[in-house]
Amino acid sequence: MKKRWSKIIVGFLLLFCLSTSFAYAFNKVSETENNSEKNKIIYLTFDDGPSYNTNNILDTLKEYDVKATFFVIGNQIKGKEEILKRIKDEGHSIGLHTYTHNFKKIYSNSQVFIDEMLKCQEEVYKVTGIKSNIIRFPGGSAKRLDKEFKEELNSRGFKIYDWNIDSGDGINPKTTVNKLFKRATESNIKSKPRVLLMHCDNVQKNTSKALPDIIKLYKDKGYEFKTINNETPEYHFPLKK
């Protein structure tokens, strides 16, 4: 009789341990899945506007109820003030992309670069009332940003944002819609969240054509679309040694 009860007790203990182990494993899997879901964030970013082509981008974003970030060039604003206002009014974020986008000039020394950002900041403020401090280096910060320069920019209140996915529209404006889509949605990108580089000047006409399918794919995969703002952690390429 004692042996029988001993077996029953041992059986219950084993069942309890297995149940506990399974519950623990299930919770760990759920936790991993939840963390994975939290990391499914994408920032759509558009450089080199405002332009008349920017309206096509804005139309698509409005249709799909998605917000994006526009890094604008200061000397492109004149005559397109209404487009810049529309970017703001429709809930998108506005960043700075220098005043002239002239590589030879803006990268001649750090002070010229800062002055270009300040001038662009002033132009954006005059039209929108927003004093933006989020910036993007034309061509990216790689091999241009070192620790000292970063500290100088941060001391001026600027925050730097590069990207980890390049649609390729800036390299070749004639890139086909299909190629733009494939590059913008490639699945082997390990960096999270995703920061997608696109352009919205008058040259990149195919970007606006590829955008609906890009948005639909990321929506289908459960991504959350966010804008870059003052609270967004900086994201830039490795600093120059």
Residues designated as active site: 47, 199
Q: For residue 44, give every residue at least 6 positions away whose Cβ sits within 8 Å of its Cβ, in sequence order, or none.
A: 61, 66, 68, 69, 196, 198, 215, 225
Residue given tokens 């195919």 in the structure block: 206
Q: For residue 193, give every residue at least 6 positions away whose Cβ sits within 8 Å of its Cβ, in sequence order, or none.
A: 39, 40, 41, 42, 43, 226
* Residue 228 near residue 69, CB atoms below 8 Å: yes
Q: Could you tell me the CA-to-CA distances from 29 to 23, 38, 222 in Å, in that order? A: 10, 14, 18
What H or E segment, with its residue span, contains residue 69? strand 69-72
Joined together, the tokens standing for residue 13 give 């203990």
To 10 degrees, what angle do helices 81-89 and 110-128 make? 80
Rounded CA gap, 26 and 23, in Å? 5
